[in-house]
Amino acid sequence: MPAFRTLDDLGDVRGKVALVRVDLNLPMVDGRATDLTRARAVAPTILELAEAGAKVLLLAHYGRPKGERHSTLSTSYLQGAIEGVLGRKLMYISEVSGPVVEQTLAIFGPGDIGLLENTRFWPGEEANDPAFAAAIAAHGDFYVNDAFSASHRAHASTEGLAHLLPAYAGRAMEAELKALDKALGNPQAPVAAVVGGAKVSTKLAVLEHLVGKVQHLIIGGGMANTFLAARGVDVGKSLCEHELKAQVEAIMDAAEAAGCTVHLPYDVVVATEFAANPPSLRTCNVHEVEADEMILDIGPQATEALADVLKTCRTLVWNGPLGAFETPPFDAATMALAKTAAALTREGSLVSVAGGGDTVAALNHAGVADDFTYVSTAGGAFLEWMEGRELPGVAALVA
Ligand code: ADP
Ligand code: MG
């Protein structure tokens, strides 16, 4: 893992101004945050800096205001939720730079925390405009990025600032980078990757990267149908991207050349309609799917075989559910394999890292998210990392 500076490398910060990029893009319904996960993730960094006597200015985006002030997307709406999580008062500041910020800092004492306005109210944020970044940087003594989930974007607050001030990874960023390094950067072999979800098309780059990195590539979800179809299996009415046959064949060839075993299900759970516990529900061999049936989960035999694969592995990286897990009983394979991974992790024989919006929901549904070594809530940034891409916000911390 390339070396990046953390809060441990900061000297005395008493009275210094810390510009801290956080992800506070909380889901809100009727003015109330419905999930505080993101605020909880960045609280340790904010409190550590405040307790060390820094004057902390929080930089965050909220929604997609597209470079203009948008009355419903002010960070002021987030203030109460963040104060609740921190157990401390904040000052909301209606700008990100200029005299208002200056005057606020003049009355700030060590340990005070300010929440700057939504960075995306200014076009310079997403354009990564150097003048915009410089205007913000003028207020700070150093920069901390604690927003891994926003670091796949080269924006002023995620990338530009890191070149203008001494830059450090916050505690949440540090934990995420260390976990991801253990999973794919520098993993203990054998490594298994589970890639599921709806479509191959959204994860082609992930699959292409993984075949050169892992010993076992486990394909589930709708994308398994596309792989089966490419091998000549009739998948009936299943969700399937027949047009990707050539790409799927190329991935299987690359896997073979790299010594990576691709695991496809040999039994599946099918139904003629997509509903909870439908009367047409049955389990069959992949070669027995009828023309009017669709594959909605991988079968119990395949799931058991995959559990045996995981038992031989030391590292697991997981993105995408194995079936249509929101609708019972098509959650069965995902639940079972998640529980196996959790048990192996608890025993200490497996390092397990998972990410992706629906994957996190599925692991929570299985009740095992806390048993995994690390669960990333980063979404787009997690997928780009699984594609082996350099994330600009992370790269800027290393440079
Ligand atoms: P993530 O958000 O974790 O990256 P995806 O968005 O790629 O995951 O995929 C999740 C979706 O894939 C879920 O909504 C799930 O219902 C769907 N899915 C999984 N297996 C199937 C299947 N066999 N047929 C149709 N949809 C499926
Ligand atoms: Mg999803």
Going by CA atoms, what residue is nearest to atom 22 of ligand 1?
222
The H-or-E segment that residue 60 falls in is: none
Q: What is the largest CA-CA distance in the chain?
A: 74
- Residue 333: nearest ligand to its CA? 1
Which residue out of 358, 365, 387 has the highest number of ligand 1 atoms within 8 Å of its CB and is therefore the one to mutate? 358
Token pair recorded at residue 139: 């207020």
The answer for residues whose C-beta is within 8 angstroms of residue 12's C-beta and 6 or more apart is 52
- Can you give the pLDDT at residue 312? 98
Round to whole Å and give the CA distance between 112 and 83: 12
User: Is 11 tagged catalytic?
Assistant: no
Whether 38 sits among the annotated catalytic residues: the reply is: yes
Q: What pLDDT is attached to residue 379?
A: 86
357-366 vs 332-347: helix axis angle to the nearest 10? Answer: 80
Please write the tens of the pLDDT for every residue from 70-120.
999 999 999 999 999 999 999 999 999 999 999 999 999 999 999 999 999
The residues facing 19 across adjacent strands are 57, 143
DSSP 290: -
Whether 380 is catalytic? yes
pLDDT at position 399 is 66
| Beta carbon of 361 within 6 Å of any ligand 1 atom | no
Q: Is the peptide bond before 329 cis (omega within 30 degrees of 0)?
A: yes
317 phi/psi in degrees, rounded to 5: -125, 130
Please compute, for residue 198, the number of CA atoms within 13 A of its CA located in the half-sphere on the CB side.
Answer: 5
Ligand 2 centre distance from Cα of residue 142 (Å): 35
Tokens of 159: 């990338």
Amino acid 243: pLDDT: 96
Nearest CA to ligand 1 atom 15: 324
Radius of gyration of the chain (CA): 23
Q: What is the mean pLDDT of each run of 10 residues along the chain (399 residues)?
A: 90 97 93 92 98 98 96 96 97 98 98 98 98 98 97 98 98 96 94 96 94 97 97 97 97 98 98 98 98 98 98 97 98 98 98 94 95 93 94 92
- Cβ(308)–Cβ(318) below 8 Å: no
Which residues, 6 or more positions from 298, have their beta carbon under 8 angstroms from its beta carbon?
A: 220, 224, 265, 267, 268, 269, 322, 323, 333
333 within 8 A of 365, measured Cβ to Cβ: no
Residue 97 burial by Cβ neighbours in a 10 Å radius (0-12, 13-18, 19+): buried
Residue 185 carries which DSSP code? I
Q: What is the CA 125 to chain-centroid distance, rounded?
A: 22
Q: Tokens standing for 54?
A: 């820094």
Which residue's structure tokens are 């897990």? 325
Residue 58's closest CA among 9, 123, 117?
117
Determine the pLDDT at residue 265: 97
Of ligand 1's atoms, which has the minimum distance to the CA of residue 326? 16
pLDDT at 31: 85
215 alpha carbon – ligand 2 mean position (Å)? 25
Q: Tell whether ligand 1 has an atom less than 6 A from the beta carbon of residue 197.
A: yes
